[in-house]
Structures are given as structure tokens and as C-alpha cells.
Amino acid sequence: MLDLINLNPAVEVALLGAALAVLPAAWVLRRGRQQGLQGWPAWQRVLTVATLFLTLDLVVFGAFTRLTDSGLGCPDWPGCYGELSPFQAHGDISAAQAALPGGPVTHGKAWIEMLHRYLATGVGALITALMLLAWRMRHAGGLSPWWATATFVWVCAQGAFGALTVTLKLQPIIVTGHLLGAVLGVAMLTAQVRVLSPRLRWPGHAAEGAARGAADTLDAAWAGAGLRRVGLAVLLLLVVQIASGAWVSTNYAVLACSEFPTCQGQWWPDTDFRAGFHLLRPLGGDSEAGYLTLAGLTAIHLAHRCLALVVALALATYAWRLGRWQVGVDLGGDLGGARPWRREARVLVGLLLWQLASGLSNVVLGWPLVAALAHTLGAALLVAWLVRLWVLPRGAIGHLAHAGQQVHPGHAKPARHQGHHPGAAHPTAS
């Protein structure tokens, strides 16, 4: 009998992941030297950006693995039949494929699953390196090493979920948790990049002092703006919607409704929410050792649709308010009515339209792979963009803290702005 957890190739898989991590790290090192990066904070930022980019790739490739039914392409973990690669496990894979040609184990699915594991191990190696460097350079002006340590704990937890995905045979609650964990990783890395990012330079200021003063004003206004806190609420609502979408995908409930806006030719067909949202059950099963019915699948699908309407309205409203958010600046220029988040609002609207188009394509086009992958990527990018808007750059945090306000990364509640420039900042929405 095959051992579902076989650690024999664990060291080899880890070494391969470390070798893969060398490639993006070497590219970042080369580009950084060409651009003349100076100081550990700048290097920490570009390494974190590279890790974030690969994490987004990993999220999409994980969706590709799930959507091609390759999650059990190698039925043990972390290797494939106790080997490093499907090459070495060729005989076992061939035997399984011959016994069940349309089953979960084929040569193609085995390679997809192992490539996903290699990429995940490479991301884990980069995160481990970032943590070790952060502790080594902890007095060099970068982020607190506890940021990188928290990310390391996250990637270890993701590895455990990957193992459970295999050992529990794609149990929906585990696969859903694995996807939500991936989104959490994107959010954590985005927050770190944002804190390390340079402060916003206000356009139209030739003088350095005026530009700094305008940035101080904007930072103080946005840190205490109610709209910023609304953005956090929208982000949390989006995460709930992503969980709903993961539940649809992991239960293969997309095709329960093959038209829009109706479902099965009705506005509200038969549903079974109790069966559909019973969490602790096997893939395709219900709570009573039977099969999940069409009514249960329909309930899962319709719940996602209804929540999608709420989230879309929330995102559209937030984007509209964001584009119109104003800050008063008294610097002797024409910036009194400046609206600094217009570009961010446009990007948010673009990502929302991306999600709506890809989501509808999944329904009316019969769940095409490209549309499903685009939907997963869009969800991750929406999370990253909302986190970017909520978290303050470190320069802004330092300025506000220097002004006597209690400010923490990603969460600022200044009671009163005491900037070093004339004029007060009052966030307004029109």
C-alpha cells in the first residue's frame, strides 16, 4: 500500500526548490546592481517584490493544477511515488494509468502536480532566505524581521495544507483553506512591499520642500480618513467572496448553472443549502455518506452569485468614492482640490470588470480553463490592490509617529495632524 506521506525525497525536493529560487534571486541581484540600489531596505523591497510576483504565479498555477484534475497526479507527498520526479516514478504512474485511464494519476497530471510542488518549494526557499537575511540585517534599517518570520510561518502552514490536500483526497474544506492561505500570502507580501515603498510624490511640485510638505499632508489625511477604513471592510468582504468562489470551484459547482442571469431555466431552482454547505465531507459526498445532489451544488453556485452582486456593488461604490476623495492643500499652488487616488480608483474598476467578465465567461462558456485562471488571478490582484491602499508606506508612518500620533504599519488612527508645513489636511468626499 502506498504511503501518502513519504519523506524519502523531501531533502531532494527542498534542494530543487532552493536551486529554482536562485534564478529569480540572481536576476534581482543583477538588475539591482544595474540600477544602483543602495542599502538593505531597497534590496529587501526588490526581493520581496520578486517573491510576491512568484507567489501570484503560484496561485494561478495552483488553480491550473486543480482545474485540470491534477491534484492527485502524484498520490503521495512531497514526491511522486517516493521519487523526486515523474521520470523516476514512470513505472508506477504507467501502472496506475493503465488500471484507470481516466483516473487521477496520469503522466501529464503527475508532471503538473510536481511542477506545482517545485514552484511552491522555490517560493518557500525565497521566503526562508528573506527571513534569514532580515534577521542578519535587522540593524540595517529594513523591516522588522518579524514580518519575514510571519511570512515563513505562513509558507510552512501552506506546505502542511498541501500535504493534507493529498492525504485527504481533495477534501473541499482543505482545498478551500489552501486557496485562502495563498490569498493571505499575497496580502502579507503586498503589505511588506507597500511599507518599504517610497512615499507618494505629489505631481506638479518642482521644489523638494513643497513636494515633501504635500506628501506629509496627504499621508496625514489618508491615515485618518474614514474611507481608508471602509476599504478594509471591503477587503474583508472580498475575502468572504473568494472563500465562496473557492467552495464553488472545489465542489465543481460552476456548471450547476449554465446560463445567466437565470439558473436551470429558473430564477431560483431547487436548492439544498444544508447539504451544499456541510463543511466536513469528502469531495462529491454529502453529510450522510451519499453523493452531493444537484440541489446542493445549485445552492453553492447561487450563494456565490448573490454574494458576488453585493461585493461588486461594494467595490464599485468604493472605487467611485476613492476617485472623488479630496484633500485640501495650502501650498500656494493650485492643488487645493487635488484628488490623489484617481489612478488607483481606475485600476480598481478595471480589476472589477475583469472579475465580472471572467466570472460570467465561466458560466456561459462552460467553465473554460483560461477564464477560470483569469478569475483566480483577478481575485488575488484585487486583494493586493486593496491591501496596497490600506497599508501606509514606512516614510508616512515615520512622519506621523514623529508628529506625535500612534501609528502602526497598515493601521493608522491619527487624532490630530501636526505636520511641518502650513495648512491642515481635511479628507473630504464629494
Residue with cell 495648512: 423
CA 200 centroid distance within chain: 24
Q: Is 269 helix (H, G, I), strand (E, B) or coil?
A: coil
Instruction: Find the catalytic residue in 113, 208, 259, 344.
Output: 113
* Whole-number Å distance between alpha carbons of 383 and 197: 18
CA 209 centroid distance within chain: 37
3-state helix, strand, coil in the chain (%, to 5): 65, 5, 30
- Which amino acid, one-letter code, is at 3? D
| Strands 77-78 and 5-6, bridge-based pairing | parallel
Active site residue 344: no
Cβ contacts of residue 88 below 8 Å, gap of 6+?
A: 80
40: its cell numbers: 538593505
- Which amino acid, one-letter code, is at 368? P
* Nearest in space to 131 (alpha carbons), one of 46, 55, 44, 14: 44
DSSP code at position 325: E
Burial environment of residue 208 by CB neighbours within 10 A (0 to 12, 13 to 18, 19 or more): exposed
Question: Catalytic residue positions?
Answer: 113
